[in-house]
Structures are given as C-alpha cells and as structure tokens.
C-alpha cells in the first residue's frame, strides 16, 4: 500500500486536522499510482465510506458513487462538508468587490476594518494568497477547549474575537513566505462585511442562490444524512468564510462548469495569479498537487495549467480542480477523514492528470 505522509498544521498545543487537506508524499517505492488503484483503498478505509467522484470533459458531465460494496449504480446524491473549498467562494466575493470598485487588493486591511493606528497590517492580496504572515489561527481558550472535545476547533470564535486578535498581533511589512491560514479567510470575511455592511452568511447565501444558482450549497445549519459534521453558527462565527459550506455533487459540478466557462467577471478574475509562492511540497508535484502561485484563494499549478483547491474537516475531504484550456475538471467529495484513508485531493488530482494525459 502506498505510504502517505499527511501534512497537518501544527501549533503549540497539538497537531490538528485542518480545513484543508494538502498532502505531502515524501517518496514512492513504486510508480505514481492510478486513480483506479487508490479509489479501492479509499473506500475500504471505512465501512461507511461514500465517495462521490464527478468530472466535466469537453462539455460532458458524469459522476459515480463509490462504496465498499462497489459503485452504487443508483447514484444517490449526498450532502458533504467541502471544508476549505469555501475559501474559493470567499475569494470570488472579494473579486466581485474589486470588479465593483469597492476594494483595492493592495490596500492594508486597516482601510476597511476598525483597527488601532500606527500599526502594520497585511494587505488584502496577502490574505488572499496566504502570504500575510498570519498562522492558521491564533490560540485561544475556545479553540483549545474544542480540540480537547474533538469538536470543530473554530466553533464559537466570534468576529469580535478575531478583530481583537488582528489588533493585538502585528505582522512584518511586505509579503511573507506562504503559510496556509484559515485566519486569513476569516479576516477576508470581516472585510467583506465592512464593505457591504452585511453579514457574511447573508452575502454568501445570496450570491449562491441569486448569482450562481447553487440551491443545494449552503452554510451549515444541521446534521446531514452522512453525519459526523462540524457544527457552526453561521451568523456569528469568524471562521465561517474559511470552511463552513456543505454541498453535493450536482452543485459542485455546476460550480466547476462556472469556472470552466468563466461565467462572470468575478469568476474570471478570481483565477488571476496574485502571488508566486513556489510552495509545492515533496513529491506532490508529480501528482499534480502543485502550489506555484495563488489567485483569489485558488491554488495554481502552473506546469499543468491546473487551478484547484481542496478541503478537509473532522470527517470529510474534498477536491475541485480544472484546466480551462482543455475544458476538463474533476470534483471529489468524501466522508472519509484525512487520518482514516486516501484524501480527496490525491484522488482528484490523479484523475484530472489522467484525463489531461488522455487528450
């Protein structure tokens, strides 16, 4: 069996599963695996595994539902936590604000937030590209308590708390080295709320329903059928913009199609590279999981011209990736946690690379 060394985000007290499922594959004792060889391992990791895999190829859309018993030919539609794929929606809202002339990404966040003066703060661009210098979160009693209980680490962290953390923690001037950060996305949510004078949850849900027509993509409200969900309070919590969305394969394939077709100005703009970060880990590049640059929260594999993001919560992993020039993209939604089996970003990236190589 392929040995995978997962990259987790570490902090002073513990190592925890984060909203993103980036994998570091340190070495191979064999050739790069195939999607077919790994999907079997993935579904056998848990008796309750339900992994939905979809793709768009030259305008044709299809999906399959994999379980331990094999492919479920009835094609049930399941709701999954998509974790950090939520960040791509947040980034798109920022791109819309730019298109509307409401925001300049090279402005300091202090231009939009009520913060102490005479202090250095990162720019919007730095938040979007994980070059702000902020950690994935700042330790506080709520997060520590949630971790102790095995709950969503961010549940209960309010906007007011996050704004205080911004005010109390200065950063170095200028772009910093790439450091994946959920805190960045939370602060972007605060900026959007300031610009539009509206709750982030309302902004996002209106955009989902009115602009994108994704009726089955929503912020967490109650337990889904697959269960094992992270709880969120969408109207009050600061980290919601980092990873609170739930969706299904039909909506995520629609979202993928919107990316491939560059359906509106902000989606098109959201793919533009904002920072060259050269942050590919280990042998991940051989699997298509490259981070050469970052756009509006999207990760850019510039060698294969792939735009992608993944997600991971306590019980789910997810992946979306696409090549616009070839009209090919893949979505993977899984209810198998990162520490239990093969995460979605490996499955999705392998399938996408295989489809591109077959052209």
Segment 181-207, tens digit of pLDDT: 999 999 999 999 999 999 999 999 999
pLDDT of residue 166: 95
**The dihedral of CA 112, 118, 123, 129: what is its sign?**
negative
pLDDT tens-digit series, residues 167-177: 998 777 788 99
pLDDT tens-digit series, residues 262-299: 999 999 999 999 999 999 887 788 888 999 999 999 99
Strands 50-57 and 23-24: unpaired
Helices (H) and strands (E) counted in the chain, each on its own, are 11, 16
Residue 2 reports pLDDT greater than 80: no
pLDDT of residue 283: 78
pLDDT of residue 285: 81
pLDDT of residue 66: 97
Residue 7 reports pLDDT greater than 50: no
Residue 14 reports pLDDT greater than 80: no
Whole-model pTM: value is 0.92
pLDDT of residue 30: 53
Query: Which of 136, 127, 130, 131 is CA-nearest to residue 105?
Result: 127
pLDDT tens-digit series, residues 142-168: 999 999 998 999 999 999 999 999 999
SS3 334: strand
Residue 347 reports pLDDT greater than 50: yes
CB 134, CB 122: distance < 8 Å: yes
Query: Which of 337, 355, 335, 326 is CA-nearest to residue 65?
Result: 335
Residue 12 reports pLDDT greater than 70: no
pLDDT of residue 19: 57
SS3 310: strand
**Per-chain mean pLDDT for the chain:** 90
Residue 46 reports pLDDT greater than 70: yes
pLDDT of residue 355: 96
Residue 116 reports pLDDT greater than 90: yes
């Amino acid at each position: 069996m392929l040995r995978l060394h997962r990259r987790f985000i570490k902090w002073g007290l513990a190592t925890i599963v984060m909203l993103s499922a980036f994998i570091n594959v340190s070495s191979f004792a064999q050739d790069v695996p195939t999607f077919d060889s790994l999907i079997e391992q993935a579904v056998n990791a848990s008796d309750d595994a339900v992994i939905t895999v979809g793709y768009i190829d030259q305008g044709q859309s299809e999906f399959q539902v994999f379980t331990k018993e094999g492919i479920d030919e009835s094609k049930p539609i399941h709701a999954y936590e998509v974790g950090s794929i939520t960040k791509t929606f947040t980034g798109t809202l920022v791109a819309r604000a730019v298109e509307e002339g409401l925001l300049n990404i090279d402005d300091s966040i202090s231009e939009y937030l009520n913060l102490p003066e005479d202090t250095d703060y990162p720019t919007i661009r730095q938040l979007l590209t994980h070059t702000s210098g902020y950690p994935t979160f700042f330790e506080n009693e709520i997060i520590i308590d949630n971790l102790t209980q095995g709950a969503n680490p961010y549940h209960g962290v309010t906007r007011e708390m996050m704004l205080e953390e911004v005010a109390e923690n200065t950063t170095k001037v200028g772009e910093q080295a790439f450091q994946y950060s959920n805190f960045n996305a939370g602060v972007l949510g605060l900026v959007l709320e300031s610009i539009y004078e509206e709750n982030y949850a309302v902004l996002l849900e209106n955009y989902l329903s009115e602009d994108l027509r994704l009726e089955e993509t929503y912020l967490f409200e109650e337990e889904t059928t697959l269960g094992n969900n992270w709880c969120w309070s969408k109207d009050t919590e600061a980290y919601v913009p980092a990873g609170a969305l739930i969706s299904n394969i039909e909506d995520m394939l629609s979202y993928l199609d919107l990316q491939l077709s560059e359906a509106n100005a902000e989606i098109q703009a959201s793919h533009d590279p904002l920072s060259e970060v050269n942050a590919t880990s280990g042998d991940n590049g051989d699997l298509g999981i490259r981070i050469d640059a970052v756009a509006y929260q999207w990760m850019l594999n510039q060698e294969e011209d792939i735009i992608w993001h993944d997600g991971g919560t306590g019980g789910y992993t997810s992946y979306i990736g696409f090549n616009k020039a070839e009209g090919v993209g893949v979505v993977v939604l899984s209810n198998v946690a990162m520490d239990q089996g093969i995460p979605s970003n490996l499955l999705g990236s392998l399938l996408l690379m295989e489809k591109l190589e077959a052209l």
